[in-house]
């Protein structure tokens, strides 16, 4: 399924506001948004039922990268990306595709996370939208602008998609 032009236009506008001109993008917004802790209320809600580990690298991520598990010390079961570009999230099982409301086989804790994201005003772009090209020069880990996807601009300039690798720091 192709993403709608309306969805693409909304994300394009968010990207332009955050990064500035496409010919010379900047990342100044990342530090400012991180310092303002825009997701603190959401994280508080999630920590009521889950162990939340912050794996954010402000040198390459443009939002929070979180891993979630049912208890400290257990391997992470889910990853949650929260964008500093706008109120966008991506929630997925480790090594699984992005999860959205209505996905088949959702576990109760996954429904809890999805409900919390919705209650805090986050949009969860569908996988096909996250995988849509958004050519943009100057991304440090994406030397070929044709390989830049919406996911990269919303969450991280890594060269891969996390649901296509095991964990988000492993290269494909």
Q: Give the range among 11-15, 23-27, 64-68, 167-171 with minimum mean pLDDT.
A: 167-171
Q: Cβ neighbours of residue 131 under 8 Å, at least 6 residues apart?
A: 149, 150, 151, 161
- Which tokens hold the place of 99? 């999860």
Q: Is 165 exposed, middle or buried (0-12, 13-18, 19+ CB in 10 A)?
A: middle
- Write out pLDDT tens, residues 104-131: 999 999 999 999 999 999 999 999 999 9
Q: Which of 38, 9, 30 is nearest to 125 (CA)?
A: 9
Provide the pLDDT for residue 93: 93
Task: With 0.85 as the threshold, say if the pTM is over it.
Answer: yes
Tokens 């959401």 appear where? 42
Q: Is 71 exposed, middle or buried (0-12, 13-18, 19+ CB in 10 A)?
A: exposed
């Amino acid at each position: 399924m192709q993403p709608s032009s309306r969805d693409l236009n909304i994300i394009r506008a968010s990207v332009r506001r955050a990064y500035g001109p496409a010919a010379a993008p900047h990342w100044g917004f990342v530090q400012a948004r991180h310092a303002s802790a825009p997701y603190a209320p959401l994280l508080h809600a999630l920590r009521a039922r889950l162990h939340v580990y912050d794996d954010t690298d402000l040198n390459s991520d443009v939002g929070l990268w979180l891993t979630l598990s049912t208890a400290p010390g257990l391997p992470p079961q889910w990853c949650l990306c929260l964008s500093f570009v706008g109120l966008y999230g991506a929630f997925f099982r480790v090594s699984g595709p992005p999860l959205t409301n209505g996905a088949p086989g959702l576990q109760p804790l996954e429904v809890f996370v999805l409900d919390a994201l919705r209650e805090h005003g986050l949009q969860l772009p569908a996988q096909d939208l996250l995988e849509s090209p958004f050519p943009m020069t100057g991304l440090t880990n994406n030397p070929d602008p044709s390989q830049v996807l919406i996911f990269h601009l919303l969450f991280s300039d890594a060269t891969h998609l996390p649901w296509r690798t095991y964990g988000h720091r492993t290269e494909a």
